[in-house]
Amino acid sequence: MQRITSKDNDFIKHVKKLKDKKYRDISNEYVIEGVKLVAEAIQEAAPIKQIVLCDDCERSDLIPKDLMYEIAKYDCIYVNEKLFQYLSEVQNPQGILAIVEKNNKNEQIDYSQDIIVALDDVQDPGNLGTILRTVDSIGLTQILVSKGTADCYNPKVVRSTMGAIFRIKIVECDDLLKTLKEVKKHKFKVMVSSLQTENSIYDVNYNKKVIVIGNEANGVEFNIQELADEKIKIPMLGKTESLNASVATGIILYEYVRQKLSK
């Protein structure tokens, strides 16, 4: 156990710099914050490097005693309330955060699952976090993300995954088009969401498919659309022409679930 009281401490500087994506990439670490996320990280055996606790948290009811027992097994660092506020990303911090190693060491794609979800430059952190949570909810354990997609380890993304970040392998693709061509060699077909088709999400079979979700403003990149084996759209009865990326992803993926359950 270590107690730190100064902003000038090297560890405090390190935690603060983890707010920056470039530094997260260099250190291969990210920050999680809050009782629920830390508890879930422990439960999922996530590679926690350090846990930072506010001095006063032990004297409050915010952290259950059984969780404090588990936390004590890790490298714990205590700071005062002012210093914790300095490190925190939220308005009303719960007095606990952790440094976690990224779960991207094994970037080999798993071809054993029915479907693979790929994101083509999805920009909004809230959308990305919700998509990761949805992918986790249907039992998938990986996701492909293009270089232009928002950082999966951004604090807002991590919070909105509600713990899914610990269970989903993030496969970062420098060239998504090239990756998809490689995936096709493994008998997967590429399927993209597009308004330029008459095929609805209910007209296709969700087996050995890579489902590509496009950028919020521009959709799926032209070259990927050209590569696609199938194009699908969500039928809509109202005047709205398109849906939020995370909502659309949920609708498509749960059609896969419906088909799987009906077999």
- Identify the sign of the CA torsion 244, 246, 252, 258: negative
Q: Which fold has domain 115-262?
A: Alpha/beta knot (3.40.1280)
- Where do the structural domains in the chain lie, given as residue ranges? 2-101, 115-262
* Rounded distance between C-alpha atoms, residue 171 and residue 155, angstroms: 18
- Identify the sign of the CA torsion 233, 234, 239, 241: negative
pLDDT of residue 91: 84
Q: Which fold has domain 2-101?
A: 60s Ribosomal Protein L30; Chain: A; (3.30.1330)
The arithmetic mean of pLDDT across residues 102-124, rounded, is: 90
Count of residues making up the chain: 263
pLDDT of residue 106: 66
Greater pLDDT, 35 or 197: 35
Strand partners, 146: 173
With beta carbons less than 8 A apart as the criterion, state whether 224 and 176 touch: yes
The arithmetic mean of pLDDT across residues 11-22, rounded, is: 96
Least confident stretch, 100-114, 133-147, 176-190: 100-114
The arithmetic mean of pLDDT across residues 76-97, rounded, is: 92
Predicted confidence band of residue 89 (pLDDT cuts 50, 70, 90)? confident
Residues 6+ apart with CB under 8 A from 173: 118, 144, 145, 146, 147, 179
- Nearest CA to 147 out of 25, 7, 15, 249 is that of 25
Task: Give residue 173's identity as a one-letter amino acid code.
Answer: C
pLDDT of residue 105: 65
pLDDT of residue 60: 62
- 152 token code pair: 């999966």
- Nearest CA to 98 out of 40, 167, 151, 30 is that of 30
The percentage of the chain sitting over the pLDDT mark of 90, rounded to a whole number, equals 82
- Nearest CA to 115 out of 187, 170, 198 is that of 187
